[in-house]
Structure 1
């Protein structure tokens, strides 16, 4: 039995695959729901376009985004970006003409700068916000088209800049040991080991059944907030929301949202 720090979309919940598996990482569905919730409730957007890369990740992002957007009484349209595409002007022109306030985008590091520069060409940079997951927060991406990336919002499982005592302590200890700052993967595995240790302590035993039962009931304090598991063994855990402000990522807080599973 192990808490499982993997991300992919839960088309089949982990509990349906293996009852001893617990996923301690946001899925694509978690990310899509939290991004949609933040965009609608915190930014007040009511009309979206949804763009994504042509992959399992991108297609599931569109599926989950369209699943949850109606909950926030907003309108949307969706488009899959083909892997060979480099000219998105016609798509962006339709987005402009349809009056979208934001583009919910799930892309890659090589796609985002191209789209951002073409947004500038079409006069929608600074008028239509980018929201989602497309490496909006990296220095290279921001420098590629600053006016288009200003105000962009991205969700992350964790960042070394997150301001909590536990997070800072982890970053300091990791940096002192390895002479470099930790990345997201280092944090997730460290936090998962601590979560499992907390479950063993709560169970009062390393017996696998008792530890599994403890995980199902645990309320674990992670560096970004409380973690519990739902009845599908998926962690309910916060994701960090970043917004690009004055050309730099600014952490807006940690947000959670519960997945709506289909009826069996």
Structure 2
């Protein structure tokens, strides 16, 4: 009889314990957001700036109580600028870390490896800076915070032809990189359409450090401008080597030029260069100047466009979660589709391909400093 009573008592205790636990459990105490960027490798300054932007935005939201009443946790992975590394990072973030969305990544070639993984898993992805049009074409869970290369290449060509008065242009690019090759092609096509002449369209292999053979072909055509669509590390070398060959004209490029290391690599050779970009620290909008002030205080230098776009990409994700009232992937995706986000890089609303319609700025390198020139609207 005593044994029977003990068994019944234990069952009652277990039932009460289970009921109590079920009523008081609130699930995870944090919401995990994945962040991916190349903090090492060929575009490491891009990755560091972008990561800083992610962190700043999350810190600001957490200081106000987080999202949906929970603190936000950034789980960051270094893709090293390599598509295989990026794919591995995305799979870990989704399958092991259980993130509800991913901000990333920077380079288009890596985003193109990550996007199918996010799409298949139903995890919203917002790339801060991948400008190749193919990225968001992967599927309806893939978004970006930046303008795309057809617009950027067109703006560059218009500036070269109308503002610089260039009638002949040479083009040099990495023919193994989706970003640099695509941007070069968009510039070429628009420059030709305007009535300009492309004297040479030169693609170089990845890893090239001696650009002299390609530059020699370009300079033989006596160009008024040289368009270099590579990242800053190559662009700086190209400029130095072109100057050594006697070229005195302007260089023009895309957002891949935006790095403090550009001048370190290219020195005086990059003066009298222009590039299209997403953001200027000299933009006098109050929200921009507040961002510049806070970023500079925290990191000891002014933000570049990568930092601004990382900040906005993370802001888009967090605002979408708040608007959706949920961490469900499909609900976050739908909230992103309908969002109007006022970021430091501009007002972001998505078109049918989940690309933002937004303006570009032209930056000039003058005495080793970035100088704002103008804003170009779409």
Q: TM-score w.r.t. structure 2 length? A: 0.55
Question: 1:47 deviation in Å?
Answer: 1.6
Aligned residue for 1:65? 187
Alignment check: 8 A CA contact 1:132 1:154 kept: yes
Q: Deviations over 1:129-161 (max 9, x none)?
A: 110046376466378452x42320122333444
Answer with 215-224 or 244-253: which moved more.
215-224
Correspondent of 1:101 among 224, 227, 235: 224
Aligned residue for 1:26? 147
Correspondent of 1:81 among 204, 225, 250: 204
Unpaired stretches in structure 1, ≥5 consecutive residues: 258-264
Larger RCO (alpha carbons 8 Å, 6+ apart)? 1
Aligned residue for 1:38? 159
Counterpart Cα distance in 2 of 1:12 and 1:54? 16
Counterpart Cα distance in 2 of 1:24 and 1:158? 12
Counterpart Cα distance in 1 of 2:372 and 2:366? 10
Unpaired stretches in structure 2, ≥5 consecutive residues: 1-122
Question: 1:214 deviation in Å?
Answer: 5.8
Aligned residue for 2:325? 206
Structure having the higher helix fraction is: 2
RMSD: 3.4
Counterpart Cα distance in 1 of 2:237 and 2:225? 17
1:50 aligns with 2:171: yes
Question: Highest Rg: 1 or 2?
Answer: 2
Question: 1:75 deviation in Å?
Answer: 1.8
Distance 1:166 1:60, change over 3 A: same
Alignment check: 8 A CA contact 1:48 1:102 kept: yes
Q: TM-score w.r.t. structure 1 length? A: 0.75
Q: Deviations over 1:43-94 (max 9, x none)?
A: 2322211101242233223333233333323221310123454444443343
Question: 1:101 deviation in Å?
Answer: 0.7
How many pairs align?
A: 251
Aligned residue for 2:239? 116
Secondary structure of 2:226 counterpart = strand
Answer with 108-117 or 230-239: which moved more.
108-117
